[in-house]
Amino acid sequence: MFYYLSGKVAALEPGLAVIDCGGVGYGCRVTAYTAGQLKLNQNAKLYITESIREDAFDLFGFSSREEQRCYELLTSVNGVGPKAAMAILSSGGPQNFTLAVMTGDEKMLTAAQGIGKKIAQRIILELKDKIGGSGMELDFSTGTSVPAPTQTSTAALANAALQELGYSPAEISAALKGADPSMTTEELVRYALRAMVMK
């Protein structure tokens, strides 16, 4: 089992990156998001998810654990294969994908090639609780900065979405300081992201 590959980027083509590890070139299928962070002849580290079928053995490479987790969540949805999952992550990256699921934004998902409205609705329906649930586990395990038990469900969902994007509880707490408690989940997430960008 491959966990990650670390080495020089030997080749970079649309949808494909070749990582040279000790003289062996591993071809990895990558999203546009990951490809944009790679540079030819420079060292890179890709987290790997394998796909083994009778007629193929594919390696899917991701520049972050967050993107890999999003890919694995997507491919757990019935009707969403590796190609569709990579298309969705290519069109918006893990941050936009997570935000789209948490806020029910079908348009962002259908912007990806080959993704219709029905599949987009199924992705949102099946993954909204999973993404929120994993974020909530993080909230309660940190113990210090996030007052999770007293949060409204809207604030809790916003916290979950932001943690899925890779922000720490301390960063989220600071970014949401002064936010209007009557805001929707989507408004809270956008408020926090604006605050983090303007820091």
pLDDT per position as a tens digit, 97-122: 888 888 888 888 998 888 899 999 99
Asked if 10 contacts 17 with a C-beta cutoff of 8 angstroms, the reply is: no
Q: What's the pLDDT score for residue 7?
A: 94
Series of mean pLDDT values for 10-residue runs along the chain (199 residues): 91 94 94 92 94 84 92 92 92 84 87 89 89 43 35 71 78 85 81 75
* Residue 197 pLDDT: 67
Give yes or no for a contact between 67 and 33, defined as CB atoms under 8 angstroms apart.
yes
Residues 82 and 60 sit within 8 Å (Cβ to Cβ) = yes
Find residue 24's DSSP bridge partners: 21
Amino acid at 108: M
Residue 120 is encoded by which pair of tokens?
Answer: 């987009």
Whole-prediction pTM: 0.67
In this predicted structure, what is the pLDDT of residue 198? 66
DSSP string, 77-90: STT--HHHHHHHHH
